[in-house]
Structures are given as C-alpha cells and as structure tokens.
Structure 1
Amino acid sequence: MSGVSRIWEKVNMMAEGGSRNCSKKSDDACGDACGEDSGRPLNMARLRCILRGLDFKALLFLFLLIPTCVLVIYVHGQKITYFLRPLWESPPKPFDERPHYYHENVSMENLCKLHGWGMREYPRRVYDAVLFSIEVDILKMRWKELYPYVTEFVLLESNSTFTGLPKPYLFSTVRDQFKFVEPRLTYGQVPGRFKRGENPFVEEAYQRYALDYLLKQAGIQDGDLLIMSDVDEIPSRHTINLLRWCDDIPPILHLRLKNYLYSFEFFLDNNSWRASILVYQSGKTRYAHYRQSDEILADAGWHCSFCFRRISEFIFKMKAYSHVDRVRFSHFLSPKRIQKVICKGADLFDMLPEEYTFKEIIGKMGPIPHSYSAVHLPAYLLEAADQYKFLLPGNCIRERESG
C-alpha cells in the first residue's frame, strides 16, 4: 500500500505544478516542459517528464491488483456473500423439538404415552405423496421402507423439469420394478409449461399444486395422515407407525431427518426439516415443501441428497432442479470433476455451508468426514446391498453410462 501512497503524493505534487523529478522550482533541465505556460501543446519532452515522475513499480502493482480483485470476486463472489451472511440475516425461529422414543421391544401404547399422546383403537390411513423426476433407486428404497404402513402411494410426474427442460415420463418405463405397490398406487402425469428463463420455483409450485388434485383422486379423506416430502426425504417406518396409532398428535408435524450427501458414507448433520406429516383437512391442507409449523419430531428418518447411481443423473439434477443458478461455470458439470467431488465429500457447486453464524460456517467448511457406520439405515438398503452398494460406505465410484 506504500506504493499507492507514493502515487497519490506524486499526483498531488503534479497538480501543484511539479514533482520531485521535475519541479519548476529546482529542476531547470525540465524547463519549458514543466513550466507554468499551460497553453503550450503537450510535447514529447513534457510527456517524458511526467512519466519520470511516476513510480513504475506502483503502477504495475495497481494494474495487477485491480484485475486480480475483479477475477476473485467473479469466481468466489458467492462464497464471499455466503460467508458474510450472518452480518445481514438472522437464524430462523427455532423449532419446538419433540423427543422421539422408540424401541422394537416397547409396546405402542407405552410409546404413545412417552410422547404425551393417547392410543387409538385403530390406526389412521396413511398417504405418501411425491413428485418424481429421475430418482428410481431412492424411490424404491423409500417405498420398501414405508410399504408396511402406507395405505396409498401417490406419485405425480411431469415431462418438464423445474427449470423448463424436457424430460421423458420415466416412471412409466420402469413401473415393472414397482409391482409390489401396484395395488396401492395412484400414478398421474402433468404436462410441463416449458417456460424457459422463469424462476424454477414457479414450475415447482405448479407441480405441487397439481399433486393436490391427484391426492383427491386417490381418495384421501379428513383425518388421514399425509406424508409431504421429496423422494429423497425418507421417514423411517417406525415413525409412521407411531403417528398412525397415536391420538392427539399435532395436526402439522415436521420431521427432523439425518442429512446425508451422495451416499450414507457422508453424514452432514441433523438439520433436514422440510419433510412433514399432516392430519388431512379438506379445503385446508395444501401440498407444500416449506415450514408450516413450529413443531418437529427428532430423529425421524433420512435425507439422502444427490444419492444417484450414475454420473449422468448428477448432471441432470444439477441442471434441472430449482437451484440451477448454483451451476456458475460449465466445468462444474465435468464427469471427472463430479466423480472426484463425490469421493472427497466436497460440494458439487463449490459453495460454503448455508448457515447463519460464523461458528457454524467455519465448523462445516471443507469436505464432509467419511463415516463407516451402516447402522440404523433403511432396511431395504441392507437387504438389497448388492443393488445399492454405491450408497454404502467405501463405494464412492459411480457408473459413467446409463443402462
């Protein structure tokens, strides 16, 4: 910064009519070139005199510094704003945490009592409703987990992504893999609007609104339980069984899920909260994926984000989902880079953690630590371990081609 100070000093001196190298008071050699006659045209001698008065090293420093700063802001601007987030955004209101009690050898009556609820004479009906894109593997794991306690599985599929990209009706081509739910399946299709450049959350809201109508076609009634969550947000089966048997449960209850990234090898945190379960009310209940209540049930399942079998599926979702703005550079979609990021447990979008305090941001910076525990995971994941090897610890390599 001393070079910048010297430049400023020289500019001020020249503004007064001279410099240390060319002063009209002490340097006669510059004579006419730096004289008081400002009406004379700028000649080469005068130009050379001015250039001699500038510090070349300081100028070079400025010419390098300014482009470097611009480049850093362009490449890492998003990181800078995320890191400074605590300066202008406060954490949301904390949830009212409800402890979750469970053991396979404890009776349902005692479990309901531990939660402060009564016991019903018969269980509620349960509807599980999801929007489907390309998550074939995780959908099968979800439905296998929930199968014993779900009355009707409701699935809606569009031929458009949230970002307006065309996609096939994939579920209809793989439906044979889901014959075990066929007697209890309501499947619907909704045409996309294909409005490119529109905010992706608009298309997402449109598809969730269509899911409300499909639920009515599936026969949902007042008092039934409705699971609202994305395909990769999987409630545990004992959580659903508890809520269908217990009386006086909250009408809207969020589910706190264990947060995993890429596979069950990378445990991120316990902060997944968007999944919810509601006691259905005609004319009032709307399918949503945002905060609807202050009450949340602890340790209620798993959220496995970007848990795909193939690299092509990673690329598709990065371009298709609502946060497509995070793909800031084309090289983010490089298969080689994606594979490296998966095995390292780093962030696909090279972002900092989305937290509200500097302590939490700094604590989560860098790759996610590897975990080698495969305890308390969805049952079907272990029952069909040969099929789901890519989701188990120590198996980060993904398939490059579909098929």
Structure 2
Amino acid sequence: MPTPEVAPTTHDGRSPTDLPSLLVALRRSAGLSQERLAEAAGLSARTVGNLERGRVAPHPSTIERIAAVLRATTSVDAVVADQLTRAAAASVSRRPETGRPLTLPERRRSCPDRQTELHQLDALATAAVGVRPSAAVGVRPSAAVGVRPSAAGPAVVVVCGPAGVGKTELAVAAAQRATDRHGVDGLLLDLAGTSRQPLAVGTAIDRLLRAFGVPEHRTPRPIHERAGLLRSVMSDRRGILVLDDAYAEEQVRPVLPVSAGWLTIVTSRSGLAGLFGARWYPLAPLSGAAPADGPAGIDASYLRLPANQRHLFRRLALLRPGDHPTTVADLLTELGPAATARALDGLTERGLLTDTPAPGGFHLCPGIRRHAETRLWHEESVAQWHHAYQRLCRHPDWRDRAQLPEQSTVESLPPPPAPRGWTAPEGGNQR
C-alpha cells in the first residue's frame, strides 16, 4: 500500500510559504537529513544548510536538483514539490539589489592581435565549464538534474605582463566568449592592485557574495567564514571569474573557487608564481610597442617594491631606453651581483621591465625610464648616483648605453616607504 502524500507544515502546524521554511518542511516530510538530500542532489551539505537558513540566493539549477529528489520520494506530493521552484523564483524577485554588479561589460571585445592566446583560453574554458546540465529522464535524481563538470577541480589562469599590453582586454574577451558559448555566469572583479588602495580581501569576498545575491545581514563576520560561504555559493554553479589587476597571491587565494565548473582568469603585472596549479600566459608588448601606463600607476607599483628593487629602479635612469643585457645592471648599483640580479628579477616580475626575445636581457621602455629619472632626482643626490654613471661610461662595451638623467621639474611625489628590510649596499650605506 503506497505511503500517503503529506503536505508539509512548519513546527507550529502552518503551511510554509517562504523558501527556507518550505525547504525544511519538504525535506523533513521526505524523511531526509541535509546530508542525504545534498548527496542525492549532487550538492554539498553546506549548500543545503545555507539555503535553509536563507543565507544564499537560490540558484535555479540548485533548486531543480533538490526538487527532482523530492519529487522522487513517495511522501512528498509532486505538486507540493513544485512549490519549491515557485518559492525560489519569488525569493529572487523580492531580493533587493545589495551591491555593485560585477557583470562583464556589454561591449564585446575581439582582441584581433591576441587570437592565439584567445583560442587557448577558449579551450580551457570549454574544459572547465563546458559540460551542460543533462535533461536525462529515468535515472537517479542526482544524475537527472545535472552532470558535474571536470572532477579535476577549477582551472586558474594568470595573464601577466607589463602595463598596457592588453591583459584585461584579453581576459574579458575570453570570459565573454565562454559565457556566450556555454551559458554560464560571468563576473569581473577589479582588485585594484596597482592603485594606492588595493581592494581588501574582505571587501572582495563581500562584493562577490553580493553579486551572488547573498544579503549583507546574512553574511558572517570573520573573513574565513565569509570565504567559506563564498565557496559554498559557487560550488553549485559554473562560470568564469575574472580577477583583474591582482597585486599578490594573498589577494587572489581567498576568492578562488575550489569546486569544478569554474575558470578563473587573473590579470597581473606580477607573475603570481605562488598560485600553485595555475597556468601562466605572459603577454609582451605587440610589435615592439612600449608598455603604456600613467605615472600614478607606475608610482603605486614603485612604492610597494622592496628597498633593493627601488634602488635599482631609480638607477635605471642612468640607461638609455631600449634593450640591455642583464649584466649591465651590476654597474648601476652598489648592491653586489647577487642582490642586483634578484632586484632585476623582481622588477621584471612586477611588470616594470620586460624580458628581451633573446635570453639574458631586459627591455627598458621610455615611460619607465622617465619615472625612474623623476624618482632618482627626488630621492638621491648627484653624489650618490654619479659613481654608478661613471662606471657605466668607463666600460668599453657599455659606455654607449649610458644616458645622463635630466633634471626637469620634479613633480610632487609621495615619500618612499621607510627603509624596513633594507639590505645595505656592499660599499656602505648609500644615504
């Protein structure tokens, strides 16, 4: 004899109308725990718990998975189970706008000069998010409501290079193509890494939570709990997340998806070598063009450099613009060969210099040199840098690379950071 179908009620005997209460009542009517419902629907138990507490916005595919499981039980009326879908739709329609939208720009980007990189990102996006939900009938509920994308986990790509080479343009173009092709979410979050006030990790998490519809009053206070909530929200979705202008790995890690079905494209002047498991796409200027950036952006990068890197950056004003062998940098500083080599690597990683096509060289663009010139006059006396200039001029092979810095009107610049962590030059303190 079949089990009679029971309409769900709340603890006080009333019929529930809001989504969280309805979900709890339906789950209990079906005799399922949060864990069993989550397992049958192919979700995480945390996602079910967050929905029942009203802490996350209901995503249509998530609700369909849950409704499919409930319809398959004998103790829940299919018509009643359909109320869940309607309650979810009503919940979304009533939800006020709670934050800045992080949608991709409407204007489509084409990147005609980056077609090779664009096609490579297309392939990665297809592998990461290209599995569409299945409409299969007659299979167990967890399979009927969707097929998980790659079980290998989310994909992370770092598009790195100096300012002005088109990192953001490429990332946005790839994201737009993927969202159009696969019908997934597309989000663009500016981390403002090269500004004087990079986006704080907590703010980044909050903006993403708002974009997913999580109201502020439902957000836990500690950052690690907010990060966990964000991962839970993203775990049952597929999409492309563009994290633009990242300065360091610690800006990126807390907001990375941890579940399959996501491709994250990070743009940065730095290589972000600490993002283990990521793929790197370094971009160089096209057709020999110099990187373009305003003085404010360059100076923001300069002020975050360690002392030895700032020291070498200033001394770049003693070179003419163009390509140079890395060994010429030894003549510019009093740091010694090993420390100078590390400082040169740091400037290249931060995108202030670029590698030359031939190994063992770096390219100094005019805009970077002009800023180095300004900083040199602002922070050092002629007596401090003149010996380095003389060393360069006396070298038989490299004297033609020297260029005397011009003392133009020094613009108002913020003071350099305090010399914490300073490595003293081998010839003594330069100040």
> TM-score, normalised on structure 2?
0.22
Which of the two has higher C-alpha Rg? 1
Which protein has greater RCO, CA pairs closer than 8 Å, 6+ apart? 1
Per residue, is there more strand in 1 or in 2?
A: 1
> TM-score, normalised on structure 1?
0.24
